[in-house]
Chain A
Amino acid sequence: METRIKRRAVVDGSACVACGCCAKVCPLSAIQIWRGVRAVVNADKCVGCGKCAKECPASVIEIQEVRP
């Protein structure tokens, strides 16, 4: 059996508009707006489902594979 590849959301902070659309849809509350400046992902909680990336109006979230 192959091991499952882990994914998680990565935000391009310089282009984030801090609108909060991502935080609204994350089922695990793994992404939050840091002081009205940008979104920050909690890597321990995020499962890389991609809901936030789909919602982000600026399309600045990327789902990346991570090595365990």
Chain B
Amino acid sequence: MKKRWYDYLWIVELTYLVLGFFNILFAWMGLLFFFIPLIIAAARGTKGYCNRYCGRGQIFGLLGGRFGLSRKKDIPRWMKSKWFRYGFLIFFFIMFFQMLWNTYLVFAGAQDLRQVVTLLWTFKLPWNWAYHGTLFHPGVAQFAFGFYSVMLTSTVLGLITMVLFKPRSWCVYCPMGTMTQLICRAKNRKGDLATEQKG
């Protein structure tokens, strides 16, 4: 099938992840990957981001598909259940707000900047090589470390489920994907009956 410009957005995602190894402040750019999907869902009522522009999904698709780094087995039933998907979304939110709280504490001067990237909400990796000071408040850097932790954690989880199940298994429980689908559901509630008939 014909490739479009947006089929290459995986390069942007990869660049983002690599830049975080050199200067953590680039992590701020990741806010785009948060807001663009939500804006598309809220404004247009579609999952256009997932369906077209998401570079992360493309990376998993390429590595698991083209490069064959996936067993291509069915994902376990519980992982696609609403319980797990919504549960993971809530868990993700809680951890996100905890990260924001830590950032706030640094801004408020109650806590020193911690130059670590926390993987899977547990493992603290020293990341001081990627910090060269900031012109702004240390809190700006703390947010960068926290946000990059979120991005790296979801990448690692996505890679694990890519290998175990189908390439884009992450998309089944991706919090952004779940959230945008919820927004679209809410926006398009009136049309529900029509879809049921289409099968």
Contacts and interface: CB of A to CB of B under 8 A. Distances in A.
Given A17-B80, A35-B191, A59 B45 contact: no
A18 B57 contact: no
Contacts of A33: 46-47, 51
A13 B194 CA distance: 12
Nearest to B161: A57
Q: Helix, strand, loop or mixed for chain B's interface?
A: helix
Q: Helix, strand, loop or mixed for chain A's interface?
A: loop
Interface residues of A, number: 29
Nearest to B192: A37
Interface in B64-114: 72, 74-75, 80, 85
Contacts, number: 95
Contact of B75 (A13, A20, A41, A57): A57
Interface size class of B (residues with CB under 8 A): 35 or more
A64 B177 CA distance: 28
Interface of A: 10-11, 13, 15, 17-21, 23-25, 27, 33-38, 40-41, 43, 54-60
Interface of B: 1, 41, 45-48, 50-52, 57, 61, 72, 74-75, 80, 85, 165-172, 177-178, 180-181, 183-185, 187-188, 191, 195-196, 198-199
